[in-house]
Amino acid sequence: MTVTTIRRQPQVWQDPRAIALLMAASLTTMANATISPALPGLERQFGEDPNAGMLVRLLVPAPSLSVALFAPFAGLVADRYGRRRMLLAGAILFVIAGCAGLFLPDLPTIFASRLVLGLAVALIMTAQTALIGDYFTGGDRSALSGLQISARNFGGLVFISLAGWFAAISPRLPFAIYGIAALFLPLMWKVIVDPQRTSPAPQSRPADSSSDPSSWGFIFALLVLLQAATNTIFFVMPTQLSFFFKAAGYNSPVMTGSALGILMLSGGGLALLYGRIQRAIGYVGIFALGYGAMALGFVLLALAATPPAWFAGAAAIGAGYALVSPSFVTLALGLAPPRRRGVAGGVLTASVFIGQFCSPLLSTPLIAAYGYERLFQVTSSLAAAMAIAAALKACASGARAFSRPDP
């Protein structure tokens, strides 16, 4: 028994398919934020364009809009034609569209390339999520879902840091970072294969409740809505934190970068332990702990008045988000029948980016009317309500188990 426990986790790390899927996960963070350090330089370079101010600011969220629109359709394609082709096509398109900003002549064409980049991300994330469900089960699936959050966080930290150095040389140079995806293609090509499709016998289909959309669709829809709300709350950090620091008298890009770096490091580190924590306290416990940490982080931002406390708040928010995010993937893949995992992955992917896109649209008017402290209080209250709901669910489940008579 001891030997089995010790060897289980390394099997996930050593599986080349898992490594390829983690490489794919790291690309999704690169899509939006990598060019952020280059935006002021791009605005200066294309200053003759009367719409430069608006177009430059739209370059970062543009891929999110494409992902939200195309990911559900990508899921349908993945279920019909397979995941391998979609993942490889997405990675190739990612390199082409991402690097296009190196040589495109004006901002409108660069903006168009960013929309195409979003389509590539939709293909990659949809195929990757479905393949996690196809290749892995049980604890291995939970562990890999946590590891992909770590890959996104640590990958984002590396890519954004590189972009800062590159942008100091030329505002065009950060677009070259998207070429890193080409280095991942050989391993993906070699190890990613579509699982063999099995069609259950006609007489067995009525007994398979998971193939009936009514048996899983409602719970899946609730997970999708909860994931969108979670990302709306979380993305208050990258969209509003720099402006909060500026309003507080700390107008320093270094301070914003440090806070976001702490957020990514804490999230990436805790996500490495997701599989163990989930096995110890279950999904309901994960949601209670994760949303509780996010609520604490936003309370610190709202009430504290010193940078160390704000950094502690950022660390708590990153850790809480890293706990809850993998659960959406593992729960959804457990609910969806194998032939619907592509659709499930596509809808899950869309909900993440819809939440990202909606976050500034909802938070900016609240800031204009009531200020940053009120925004953080509201987001803290929402996260706390989610944590309390999960804790009450855990208590109710425990009470039912306690009151159940012994056989």
Residues 334-346 pLDDT 10s: 888 877 778 888 8
Residue 142 lies in a domain: yes
Note whether 245 and 122 are same-domain residues.
no
Residue 1 lies in a domain: no
The amino acid sitting at 27 is L
Rounded (5°) CA angle 49-54-55? 70
Six token digits for residue 2:
């001891």
pLDDT for the residue 396: 67
Q: Which helix (H) or strand (E) holds 147?
A: helix 138-169
User: Contact 233/362 with Cβ under 8 angstroms?
Assistant: no
| Residue 407 three-state SS | coil
Note whether 172 and 242 are same-domain residues.
no
User: Contact 98/178 with Cβ under 8 angstroms?
Assistant: yes
The number of beta carbons lying within 10 Å of the beta carbon of residue 254 is 8
- Least-confidence region, from 112-126, 142-156, 191-205, 365-379: 191-205
pLDDT for the residue 197: 62
pLDDT for the residue 87: 93
Mean pLDDT of the chain: 82
Q: Is the pTM of this model over 0.75?
A: yes
pLDDT for the residue 398: 53
**CATH code of the domain covering residue 247:** 1.20.1250.20
d(CA 228, CA 165): 33
Residue 407 lies in a domain: no
Note whether 190 and 218 are same-domain residues.
no
pLDDT for the residue 209: 38
Residue 202 lies in a domain: no
User: Contact 121/28 with Cβ under 8 angstroms?
Assistant: yes
Residue 257, CB-side half-sphere exposure with 13 Å CA sphere? 15
pLDDT for the residue 208: 36
User: Contact 7/16 with Cβ under 8 angstroms?
Assistant: no
The gap from C-alpha 104 to its chain's centroid, in whole angstroms, comes to 29
- Least-confidence region, from 16-20, 214-218, 233-237: 214-218
**Count of structural domains, the chain:** 2
The number of beta carbons lying within 10 Å of the beta carbon of residue 265 is 17
Q: Name the domain boundary from 194, 222, 254.
A: 194
pLDDT at 205 over 90: no
pLDDT for the residue 299: 95
Is 48 buried (19+), middle (13-18) or exposed (0-12) by CB count in 10 A? exposed
Q: How far is CA 219 from CA 207, 238, 394, in A?
A: 19, 30, 17
pLDDT at 164 over 80: no
Note whether 46 and 188 are same-domain residues.
yes
Residues 6+ apart with CB under 8 A from 138: none
Q: How far is CA 125 from CA 68, 119, 121, 191, in A?
A: 11, 10, 6, 17
pLDDT for the residue 1: 42
d(CA 117, CA 353): 14
pLDDT for the residue 157: 79
pLDDT at 223 over 80: yes
Residue 393 lies in a domain: yes
Six token digits for residue 58:
């739209």
The amino acid sitting at 106 is D
- Least-confidence region, from 2-11, 229-238, 321-330, 378-387: 2-11
pLDDT for the residue 198: 53
d(CA 328, CA 342): 15
Band (95; pLDDT cuts 50, 70, 90): very high
Six token digits for residue 47:
């200053």
Residue 205 lies in a domain: no
Note whether 52 and 128 are same-domain residues.
yes
Six token digits for residue 327:
């659960």
Tokens 């989930």 map to which residue? 278
pLDDT digit string, tens, across residues 42-82: 888 888 877 777 788 778 778 888 888 888 888 888 888 88
Residue 397 lies in a domain: yes
Band (182; pLDDT cuts 50, 70, 90): very high
Please compute the mean of the pLDDT values over residues 167-185 and round it to a whole number: 89
pLDDT digit string, tens, across residues 282-317: 889 999 999 999 999 999 999 988 889 999 999 999
User: Contact 57/184 with Cβ under 8 angstroms?
Assistant: no
Note whether 267 and 346 are same-domain residues.
yes
Question: Is the model more confident about 14 or about 300?
Answer: 300
Please compute the mean of the pLDDT values over residues 265-286 and round it to a whole number: 87
Note whether 332 and 374 are same-domain residues.
yes
Instruction: At 406, give phi and psi (nearest 5°).
Output: -65, 145
**Residue 97 belongs to domain spanning:** 8-194
The number of beta carbons lying within 10 Å of the beta carbon of residue 320 is 29
Note whether 185 and 225 are same-domain residues.
no
